Amino acid sequence: MTCHALRTLVLAALLPLAACARQPEQTPVERTQTNEQGCTRQRSVGPQDAYADPAPLKQACVGPYLLALPQNYFDNQIGTEHDGSFALALEYPSLQPFKPGERKSFNKDVFARTLSINYSYVDRIDVRQSLRNAYTPMAFERDDPAASLKLRLQGQEVHGLVPYYADMERIRAYLRARGLADDAPGMQDRSHRDWYVARDRTGDIQTIVKCTSRGVTESGVRFSEGRMIRSEESELPDCDHFFILPEYRIRVRVTYVRAALKDWHRIEQRAGELLVGSISKK
């Protein structure tokens, strides 16, 4: 066999191996994402720098509304998650965003002063009903004293809110009758919430805040040089605050430490104005 013929034979044998070694073509990364309500946002592609200052604008969708916010307003400080979901995070008591990258060095003090905001677009039921669902018991819960306003202990107004405290004596009797042991976690004050409500002029509930039971007396926080920090106490009571923006069909949930309850109205205003002010005018 000649050298030329041998070379041809070797090349022919290597060609299939070379083909196998080729990398498959990558699917192009989608630069936009559109949700069910037709809102299209620009996606962040490639590595993101949470420490960028000034923070770049990132887009997010809430129902049909396109928002544009500096990325340090987002809980992860880089924008939405890959599926478009997101939460915003503000620092209490300033109600301003954390500094770029500050939440990446996560610690107990940052956790304690984080105020988390979630917006939900309500399109399958009436938006007011979505708020009523937060304080109306399901059929199987009607006898549960932890699930109903009427089975709670109404108290005197606190910070402009009417409290409906968890009736722990009634709750424990209810759970005991269903076989729960006295030392079970569900029997403890920390497992239950006090409800605080604000009503509109017609008497309908427009705000409901559910906080760790008053039976947990520790606050879990203290202030140092004007900043809230975690205390040495073991408990960290918190609150879930619900209200709606009916003209936008949006339900808002804000989570924060119970020590911030006194500022519920300021928090509610800030959460609402932040959404409305961030809607892109296109």
Q: Tens of pLDDT along the chain (282 residues)? A: 554 554 545 445 544 555 555 556 666 678 899 999 999 999 988 889 999 999 999 999 999 999 999 999 999 999 999 999 999 999 999 999 999 999 988 799 999 999 999 999 999 999 999 999 999 999 999 999 999 999 999 999 999 999 999 999 999 999 999 999 999 999 999 999 999 999 999 999 999 999 999 999 999 999 998 899 999 999 999 999 999 999 999 999 999 999 999 999 999 999 999 999 999 876
Which CA distances in Å does 205 have to 131, 150, 194, 198? 8, 14, 15, 6
How many independent structural domains does the chain possess?
Answer: 1
Within a domain: 236: yes
Within a domain: 242: yes
Within a domain: 172: yes
Instruction: Copy the structure tokens of residue 257.
Output: 């430490």
Within a domain: 210: yes
The dihedral over CA atoms of 269, 271, 277, 278, expressed in degrees to the nearest 10, equals 180
User: Domain range for residue 142?
Assistant: 36-278
Phi-psi region of 15 (alpha: psi -120 to 50; beta: other; left: phi over 0): alpha
Q: Are 22 and 33 in contact (CB under 8 A)?
A: no
- pTM of model > 0.75: yes
Within a domain: 29: no
Within a domain: 13: no
Within a domain: 15: no
Within a domain: 16: no
